[in-house]
Every structure is written in C-alpha cells, then in structure tokens.
C-alpha cells in the first residue's frame, strides 16, 4: 500500500481538529478537538516509521511520548476548565475574555 492515503487522511484529521477548535464553544469540546490533532500527528509518525522501516523505531517511540504528554495535557486542561467553571459558573469560552484587548 502506498503511504499517500494515510498521510492525506492524517492531514484531513488535522484540519477537522482545527475546525473543531475554531467552531466549538464549550471548553471541553475544544480539548477533544486538540486530541484529534495529536492523533493525526501520531498516525504520521507511525506511517513514516513503517515507510522507512527504521531500525531504531524512532517514529513509534515518539508517538508513545506524544501519547504520554497528551494525557498530561488533558489532565491539566480539564483542571483549568474545572477551575474556570467554579469561578465563572460556565464553560463557554466566549465569556472568558478577561485578557482580551
């Protein structure tokens, strides 16, 4: 199988994630879209690893590290959303405009 369909599907998944970040209004939904983007990057790493048949499996190791960092990011992100919800009684990111000029 050629590598092109996999890469194009990953690029499409990345664009879908960008769309979700720009459109969604709930902060938890924005975090879900970020997960889509990280997942597309993982697909790229593993596909390139299979394409190059790397002896040191750098692509797979990098994708494992990305998964770990993404788990940490989700934990911190949800804690921040929880904190915002506790202070402002909403998870709507349009209302968090304190630092907006």
Partner 1 sequence: MEAIDIFSYFLLLLLLLSGIKVVTTSNVIHAAIFLVFTLATTAILFILLSAEFVALVLVLVYIGAVIVLFLFGVMITRAPLGPNAELDNDQNKLFATLISLSIFGIFTYILLQTFDSTVVIREGTSTKLLGEILLSRFVFPFELVSFVLLGALIGGITLARKDNALMDEDQI
- Indicate the Cα dihedral angle 29, 92, 80, 33, nearest 10°: 20
Q: How far is the CB of 80 from partner 1 (least distance, A)?
A: 6
Task: Show contacts with partner 1 in window 25-84 (CB under 8 A).
Answer: 25-29, 31-33, 35-36, 39, 42-43, 46-47, 49-51, 53, 56-57, 60-61, 63-65, 67-76, 78-83
Q: Cβ distance 59 to 46 under 8 Å? A: yes
Name the phi and psi angles at 51, rounded to 5.
-70, -45
SS3 for 76-89 is: HHHHHHHHHHHHHC
Interface residue list for partner 1 (CB under 8 A): 1-9, 11-20, 22-29, 31-33, 35-36, 39, 42-43, 46-47, 49-51, 53, 56-57, 60-61, 63-65, 67-76, 78-83, 85-86, 91, 94
């Amino acid at each position: 199988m050629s590598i092109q369909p996999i890469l194009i599907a990953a690029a499409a998944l990345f664009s879908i994630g960008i769309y979700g970040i720009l459109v969604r209004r709930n902060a938890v939904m924005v975090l879900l879209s970020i997960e889509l983007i990280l997942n597309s990057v993982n697909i790229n790493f593993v596909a390139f690893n299979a394409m190059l048949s790397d002896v040191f499996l750098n692509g797979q190791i990098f994708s494992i590290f990305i998964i770990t960092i993404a788990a940490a990011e989700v934990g911190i992100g949800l804690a921040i959303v929880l904190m915002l919800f506790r202070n402002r009684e909403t998870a709507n990111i349009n209302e968090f405009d304190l630092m907006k000029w």
